Amino acid sequence: MTVLVVGSVALDSVETPFGKADHVLGGSGTFFSASASHLAPVQLVGVIGNDFPIDELKKAFANRPIDLSGLEQQDGASFRWRGRYRHDLNMAETLETHLGVFSNFRPKIPDQFRGAPFVFLGNIDPRLQLDVLTQVSKPKLVACDTMNFWIESRRPDLMQLLEHVDLITLNDAEARQLTEEFNLIKAARWIMAHGPKYVVIKKGEHGAFMFTKDSIFFAPAYPLESVFDPTGAGDSFAGGFIGYLARTNDLSEANLRRAVVYGSAMGSFAVEKFSVQRLLEITPQDIQRRVADFHRLVVFEQDVS
């Protein structure tokens, strides 16, 4: 099954304790696509400026099932982000954000994308996320991401969006901000009462919770000896998660759990190198191996006493 993703396609400049990279491929749509495309065909909708190294993107995605025909090029500058991570790699320090053409982004879903059964609305203005939903026809699953900025400035639109999505991914701070509940179980329940059937709360290096009406599932972040660059981990998680659901076309609880693990696995690859570099070089065997490692990390047999 195909996944449609609407998100940013950007150029990142990142500094970590381990090195720096300038003007490399970034953005939620880019990371999501690089990740999900290991599991399912991806249709990417986004906007870039005329300064964007489109050949670099095409080359990067050349061997992947990623349809770039929804990527609009406009006159103006591309979205650029510059950030820094100190030793606490859980926290990005934003040094510069230039929205460029992204500030006028109005997603147009190409006709051939409108029937996509799995839809991921990356972190953009909730008004645009809502607008995308008017352009697609009966997806099997609609998932969205959001962030503090939209929770603050577009709360009514975001609340309206929640009524129309099946699943939301957000981090713990955002869940608390949105719901005004400090406790994550209460926060998740609040969100589910406003629409989504599934809530995934990401805690960065501390793992992720998936809440459904009747259950809680937790997957740790894969413990890596060297986290190189955390940029894009969340979108790569979403890509693995939704990509796995699309590949299997199965929304059972057992499969949703596996999807969270695939998400965590893809997130863990993303942080091993700058940009989408590591996501582009891994093989299906690497992914299987990491999922198996995840299993070994958490598995225990209950005793019978």
Residue 283 binding a copy of itself, by CB under 8 A: no
Number of residues that bind a copy of itself (CB under 8 A): 38
- Between 52 and 209, name the residue whose CB sits nearer to a copy of itself: 209
Complex with a copy of itself: residue 15 or 157, whichever CB lies closer? 15
Tell me: does residue 203 bind a copy of itself (CB under 8 A): yes
302 sits near a copy of itself (criterion: CB under 8 A): yes
Residue where the block lists tokens 């090195």:
19
Stretch that binds a copy of itself, among 56-64, 143-151, 191-199, 290-298 (CB under 8 A): 290-298
Examine residue 290 and tell whether it contacts a copy of itself (CB under 8 A). no
Stretch that binds a copy of itself, among 4-12, 18-26, 117-125, 289-297 (CB under 8 A): 289-297
**Closest separation in Å from C-beta 60 to a copy of itself:** 26
CA atoms of 123 and 112, how far apart (whole Å): 23
Q: Is residue 178 a contact residue for a copy of itself (CB under 8 A)? A: no
Residue 180 in contact with a copy of itself, rule: CB under 8 A: no
Exposed, middle or buried: residue 110 (CB in 10 Å: 0-12, 13-18, 19+)? middle
Query: What is the CB neighbour count within 10 angstroms for residue 221?
Result: 21
- Say whether residue 218 binds a copy of itself (CB under 8 A): yes
Among 62, 75, 87, 111, binds a copy of itself (CB under 8 A): 87
* Position among 134, 137, 226, 283 found at the interface with a copy of itself (CB under 8 A): 226
Q: Taking contact as CB under 8 A, which single stretch among the options 30-38, 53-61, 64-72, 252-260 is the one that binds a copy of itself?
A: 252-260
CB-CB contact of 29 with 9 (8 Å): yes
Task: Determine, following the binding rule CB under 8 A, whether residue 289 of this chain makes contact with a copy of itself.
Answer: no
Binding segment (CB under 8 A) for a copy of itself, from list 41-49, 50-58, 215-223, 232-240: 215-223
| 73, 135, 177, 248: residue in contact with a copy of itself (rule CB under 8 A) | 248
Q: Is 216 in the site for a copy of itself (CB under 8 A)?
A: yes
Look at the block and give the residue holding tokens 């320090």.
93
Rounded to 5°, angle at Cα 132 from 196 and 98: 100
71: amino acid identity, one letter: L
Q: Does 224 bind a copy of itself (CB under 8 A)?
A: yes
Applying CB under 8 A, among 55, 63, 156, 300 the residue interacting with a copy of itself is: 300
Q: Considering the rule CB under 8 A, would residue 219 count as an interface residue with a copy of itself? A: yes
Residue 70's CB is within 10 A of a number of other CB atoms, namely 20
Distance CA 68, CA 43 (A): 7
Q: Is 213 in the site for a copy of itself (CB under 8 A)?
A: no
Among 138, 254, 283, 285, binds a copy of itself (CB under 8 A): 254
Question: What are the residues binding a copy of itself (CB under 8 A)?
Answer: 87, 182-186, 203, 206-207, 209, 215-220, 223-227, 248, 254, 257-258, 260-261, 291-292, 295-303
